[in-house]
Amino acid sequence: MNTLFLDAAFSKQTERPPVWMMRQAGRFMPEYWEIKNKYSFLEMCKTPEIAADVTMLPVDLLGIDAAILFSDILVTGEAMGGDLSFTQGVGPRFANPVRTLKDVDALEVDVLDRLQYVADAIKVIQQRLNGSIPLIGFAGAPFTVMSYLVEGGSSKDFKLTKLLMHNEPEVAHKLLAKIAKVTADYLNLQIAAGVNAVQIFDSWALALSWNDYQEFSHRYIQEIIANLNRKDIPVISFCKGSSVFAPIMATAKPDVISVDWNADLLNIKNSLPAGIAVQGNLDPHILYANKPVIKREILRLFERMRGEKGFICNLGHGIMPDIPFDNVKYAIEVIKEFKY
Ligand code: CP3
């Protein structure tokens, strides 16, 4: 097995930074569309052979150092009772938004049987990977998943979610606690099925104030991490907003904090307790740019992180669907040529 990713996640010395990219199994690849044109997104997630095919695309076409399960963070909300659909150009939608105590009470929490397809997909993927590179499992963080359940889909300002948090905090907390329970169970299901690492995505944490982040997001992530059957499975905590929230995130004791592109990565790393690795933090927009710019930005980050134990190269957020495939491939080549 190529152990670069796991070594870096556990803050061990590696000969070069390992690399994978958030949303690497997605729409920027023409081969993704060949599959997507035949099935809906949820069909792809729920059919283990297809989920495995998509997971393997960046492994085979890009040569990254870790694979990530093809799924979505919103499958936990669906399993709890959310009526989830994905529509081209609209994005995710819950047709039955959760906005009242009654709605929250109606959500179910013993739902692992409804997520069994993910365990099945993990087993197929591990057969295909055959020990070559580690597989990352993932789940959405309670605040981010709550925002989709409450808003009924994507949102720019999270107005309804924040209204619930501020006017009816006990309802928001009840909802968050339910999502946190399902999320911990779900990640433990993935660990039992054979993933080699897990990442928690709190994509929209940046929308929260310092106090609200601690009350409505962080404490539930802390609870989830405390409930994981971690053994030798590194836990990666990602949020947009980690440049600000990293000191709080560290208190949940993840192995890795995944950092957005606003902060200097070495400064963040040096500010964390020893033994917490960092992942990041290229601005995904550099992948639209000319190749010399792509190379310059990668090398700038790598020179800054030269010789650091505990650095995984990634983007600060996911690859956009219209980024040229060729540029991503070039970036991976530049990254893999580098030696500490
Ligand atoms: O990283 C990977 O390649 C693994 C697969 C993965 C997907 N979604 C596939 C996907 C992962 C890790 C996610 C996580 C996810 N899903 C997040 C957190 C990560 C992040 O980028 O912040 C969020 C916020 C979601 C919710 C979600 N799902 C959104 C906002 C969208 C896209 C809406 C749009 O149309 O732009 C999705 C759909 C989705 N998830 C797609 C893929 C490949 C596209 C589906 C399609 O082909 O139509």
Which range of residues forms the domain containing residue 125? 4-337
Looking at the whole model, is its pTM more than 0.95? yes
State pLDDT tens for residues 21-56.
999 999 999 999 999 999 999 999 999 999 999 999
CA–centroid distance, 270 to ligand 1, in Å, is 31
Q: What's the confidence (pLDDT) of residue 179?
A: 99
Protein residue closest via CA to atom 48 of ligand 1: 88
Residue 167 has pLDDT above 90, yes or no: yes
Residue 153 contacts residue 92 (beta carbons within 8 Å): yes
Please tell me whether the interface predicted TM-score (ipTM) of this complex is above 0.85.
yes
Residue the block writes with tokens 């556990």: 10
- 53 burial level (CB within 10 Å; 0-12, 13-18, 19+): buried
Domain count, the chain: 1
CA pair distance 300, 285, nearest whole angstrom: 15
Residue carrying the six token digits 């992180």: 305
What value does the mean pLDDT take over residues 204-228? 98
* Percent of the chain topping pLDDT 90: 98
Tokens of 246: 């990293």
CATH of the domain at 201: 3.20.20.210
Chain segment 78-130, per-residue pLDDT in tens: 999 999 999 988 899 999 999 999 999 999 999 999 999 999 999 999 999 99
Mean pLDDT value across the chain = 97
Q: Are 251 and 240 in contact (CB under 8 A)?
A: no
Atom of ligand 1 nearest to the CA of 25: 3
pLDDT digits (tens, 9 = 90+) for 5-21: 999 999 999 999 999 99
**pLDDT for res 89:** 86
DSSP of 170-202, one letter per residue?
HHHHHHHHHHHHHHHHHHHHHHHHT-SEEEEEE
Q: Which two tokens stand for residue 100?
A: 């009242």
- Ligand 1: residues whose CB is within 6 Å? 22-27, 36, 41, 68, 70-74, 86, 88, 91-92, 138, 154, 201, 203, 317-318
Size (the chain), residues: 340
pLDDT tens-digit series, residues 180-201: 999 999 999 999 999 999 999 9
pLDDT band at 231 (very low <50, low <70, confident <90, very high): confident
Indicate the residue type of 55: T
CB 8 within 8 A of CB 305: no
Residue 279's pLDDT band (cuts 50, 70, 90): very high
Query: Per residue in 58-74, pLDDT tens?
Result: 999 999 999 999 999 99
